[in-house]
Structure 1
Amino acid sequence: MQPTPVRTPEAVDRSGRTPRIGVLVVAYNAETTLERTLDRIPADFRSRIDEILILDDASHDGTFTAGCRWSEAEGRPRTVVMRHTKNLGYGGNQKAGYALAAERGLDIVVLLHGDGQYAPELLPEMVAPIERGEAEAVFGSRMMDRGGALRGGMPLYKWLGNRILTRLENALLGSRLTEFHSGYRAYSVAALRRLPVERNTDAFDFDTQIIVQLIDAGLRIREIPVPTYYGDEICYVNGLKYAKDVVKDVLEYRLAVKGFGTCPWIPKPEGYAFKEGDGSSHAVILDRMRALPPGRVLDLGCSGGLFAERLQALGHEVTGVDRVEVPGVRERCHRFFTADLEEGLPEEIGRGYDYVVAGDVIEHLSRPERVLAEIAGVLRPGGRVLLSVPNFSHWYSRLRVALGAFGYDRRGILDETHLRFFTRASLRRTVQGAGYDVLALTSTGAPFWALLGGGGRVGGALAKALGGLSRLLTRLRPTLFGYQHIALLTPHAAETIIAGEHVDVQDILNRQYTPADRVGV
């Protein structure tokens, strides 16, 4: 029977409850070191530990037996010892441990290695910043004490590799950690629930991926100095492969932020980012809407309502529709409806709209022709549709196909959620087949603003220069250099009666546009 832990009053969470602390011990072939490592846990801290979770990753020695033997001795904290029937890998073992920590209701979990490489004596310092609400993660850094890692026996080549990789990772992530490669970690379990750690690798670069996830989620990381211990333990890390993997992870994340690749271990943002004048299709559509008189607008795929908010500032009354409700969208739209456009337009939106905006929408539908036909039914006579689609014949997607490297991205032309691909010719055929006349068809250049971010004087100048070149090439060859196509449409010309007089709608529209506007008609 394990003794019930005695609580000390020094730390309580915001609810007034003392946080439940757990220690996750990952062990592999650690029979000779595991018990000695656990014995080093400070005696005055043991009473604060709710549970120690020892996870033996299918060791070939007596690690499991050693863990059981230690747990059964007098005065031990409540201890769970588990042995995996197959090796899950360093990352896989952590995934199992964090899931178990959440299942058992722990609030803080400290990762401790069974080989004794990290100091159990510092467990109180590891959990303290989380207990005080100052951080969601605490890392023990061997590099904070200048020269301490080398004095502790870290081989020079490992020290150099650690420093070089950490500097590179900081530069790519915009962080300021002194060490990325320490395995001594403490986490808030609530913070771990916010991260998709189950999607992470099972290999040794798991620790890097979880750092990237913490940074991406805006969670706080605190570092404390820890001593370095290098003994006769066996190292199972392939240094060159590990270095390649962590660099690949950080580069994959940076590309994913810009929209390239899928990076399944980083969540996609709920809504699209929007900046006026950023060269995106939404910015171009907004500029065109500025020239039109205010009216009732149906914004399909409105996301968080950032575009709708700008339309309303121009005097338009905007009804937004999207499959999911992004927080804040109802405050930015006059009305909002949740609907899956794959099932068609919802009846509740009504009719009589002056404009329908479908910015980067129809490529997400398996049958866009049906929705386009329904859109014509909610427009008033003479109403207009503004839509945009990515250009699949852009050089980027052509090159990917030609090289046999076709794959999906998080956004852009090869967005993983796209069900249909369009070229300028196929877009024209699609909208004309759905009953529309094309009043204008223009193309935007490649979004170098997104690739470079415009950061700094050099980055901003380069983005401006490349953007200008892209716009020039797009005008010369829109089918090859156009990144997106933007169409201004109206239902096929039909006679209507205005004030008792027969008037041809197409004649009205013709008088409202100059020949230069009527591109591609």
Structure 2
Amino acid sequence: MATHYPPEWRAALEHEVERQTFHIGLVSGLVPAGAVADIGGGTGLFSVGCAAAGMSVTLIDDFADPGNETRTDELLDVHRGGGVKIEVRDVVRDGLGLAPGSMDVITTFDSMEHWHSSPKRLFAEVTTALRPGGWFLLGVPNCVNLRKRVTVPLGRGKWSSMADWYERPHFRGHVREPDVDDLRYIARDMKLTSVRIIGRNWLGRGHAHPLVRALTPVVDRVLRSRPTLCSDIYLLGRRPLDH
């Protein structure tokens, strides 16, 4: 799918192939041909990859991130061509706009940490939009991963660059990164069942230094059993069957 994008985007997207293949595999393992809504996926590979795998996909995003300032319509043509339904909306402010019980899976990856308002009301709507027994999959960066535990005492660990916050009229960087306890809090609030917390380590795979890129897969395999130390953490939970 990355080869279908404009040439200047392909190299960056190719770094995403392994991560997005993992995301798509999680969803297809739950509902191989179900209805999926992805929140905040932007112009990336996940939603179009799910559609290519045979799922019915709705992509919901306001497309207001800096990376979407140019050529967004052209990039989304790849999604439309793959059968993805596009909904442009600010979900925290305006809600999902999905019919109750209409989705088998709702996903959101690397989006919640950018939201300036509480997602509590939105996540209640997520539960309503899921069919009984449907799945919610939330992926976020871990605010206390192993690297940060080492670098913060050394004076390095800012979530966002100064320029992203100070020079732009609207800040779209990380507002609050969660940890594993926060994900379990969300699961309890949503009354999810069959809850799992999954840990992976993706950030080093695209690092400029070749040694970091080489070591990241090794470190990832070691840390997967300790999601509290991983750079990327996932909440997977199910809407109760009797709701």
Is 1:358–1:387's contact at 8 Å kept on the other side of the alignment?
yes
Using the TM superposition, give the Cα deviation of residue 469 of structure 1 relative to its aligned residue in structure 2, in angstroms. 2.1
Residue in structure 1 matched with residue 188 of structure 2 by the alignment = 432
Higher relative contact order (CA 8 A, sep 6+): 2
Residue in structure 1 matched with residue 79 of structure 2 by the alignment = 332
CA distance in 2 between partners of 1:435 and 1:396 (Å): 32
Identity %: 24
Q: What aligned pairs does 1:115-514 form with structure 2 within 5 A after superposition? A: 273=13, 275=15, 277-278=17-18, 280=19, 282-291=20-29, 292-324=31-63, 326-327=72-73, 328-333=75-80, 334-347=84-97, 349-351=98-100, 352-365=102-115, 366-409=117-160, 417-452=173-208, 459=210, 462=211, 465-480=214-229, 482-491=230-239, 493-495=240-242
Write out per-residue CA displacement over residues 293-350 of structure 1, whole angstroms, 9 at most, x where no aligned residue: 2111111112115211110111111111111272232541431111112204242x43
Is 1:298–1:318's contact at 8 Å kept on the other side of the alignment?
yes
CA distance in 2 between partners of 1:321 and 1:310 (Å): 15
Count of residue pairs brought into register by the alignment: 211
SS at match of 2:224: helix
Using the TM superposition, give the Cα deviation of residue 398 of structure 1 relative to its aligned residue in structure 2, in angstroms. 2.5
SS at match of 1:386: strand
Write out per-residue CA displacement over residues 130-159 of structure 1, whole angstroms, 9 at most, x where no aligned residue: xxxxxxxxxxxxxxxxxxxxxxxxxxxxxx
Using the TM superposition, give the Cα deviation of residue 438 of structure 1 relative to its aligned residue in structure 2, in angstroms. 4.6
Distance 1:367-1:438 versus aligned 2 partners, 3 A rule: farther
Distance 1:297-1:319 versus aligned 2 partners, 3 A rule: same
Is 2:205–2:212's contact at 8 Å kept on the other side of the alignment?
yes
Distance 1:471-1:402 versus aligned 2 partners, 3 A rule: same
Is 1:370–1:434's contact at 8 Å kept on the other side of the alignment?
no
Is 1:389–1:486's contact at 8 Å kept on the other side of the alignment?
yes
Is 2:160–2:174's contact at 8 Å kept on the other side of the alignment?
no
Using the TM superposition, give the Cα deviation of residue 479 of structure 1 relative to its aligned residue in structure 2, in angstroms. 1.5
SS at match of 1:273: helix
TM-score (norm 1): 0.37
Is 1:409–1:416's contact at 8 Å kept on the other side of the alignment?
no
CA distance in 1 between partners of 2:214 and 2:183 (Å): 30
Structure 2: runs of 5 or more not aligned: 1-7, 162-170
Using the TM superposition, give the Cα deviation of residue 446 of structure 1 relative to its aligned residue in structure 2, in angstroms. 4.5
CA distance in 1 between partners of 2:188 and 2:43 (Å): 30
Is 1:345–1:371's contact at 8 Å kept on the other side of the alignment?
yes
Using the TM superposition, give the Cα deviation of residue 468 of structure 1 relative to its aligned residue in structure 2, in angstroms. 3.1
CA distance in 2 between partners of 1:355 and 1:472 (Å): 27
CA distance in 1 between partners of 2:78 and 2:13 (Å): 17
CA distance in 1 between partners of 2:153 and 2:234 (Å): 26
Distance 1:299-1:479 versus aligned 2 partners, 3 A rule: same
Write out per-residue CA displacement over residues 98-130 of structure 1, whole angstroms, 9 at most, x where no aligned residue: xxxxxxxxxxxxxxxxxxxxxxxxxxxxxxxxx
SS at match of 2:108: strand
Distance 1:374-1:451 versus aligned 2 partners, 3 A rule: same
- Paired AA for residue 340 in structure 1: D
Using the TM superposition, give the Cα deviation of residue 274 of structure 1 relative to its aligned residue in structure 2, in angstroms. 5.7
TM-score (norm 2): 0.75
Residue in structure 2 matched with residue 265 of structure 1 by the alignment = none
Structure in which a larger fraction of residues adopt helix? 2
Is 1:438–1:490's contact at 8 Å kept on the other side of the alignment?
yes
Is 1:345–1:374's contact at 8 Å kept on the other side of the alignment?
yes
- Paired AA for residue 132 in structure 2: P
Distance 1:321-1:476 versus aligned 2 partners, 3 A rule: closer
CA distance in 2 between partners of 1:317 and 1:323 (Å): 20
CA distance in 1 between partners of 2:217 and 2:59 (Å): 33
Is 2:96–2:126's contact at 8 Å kept on the other side of the alignment?
no
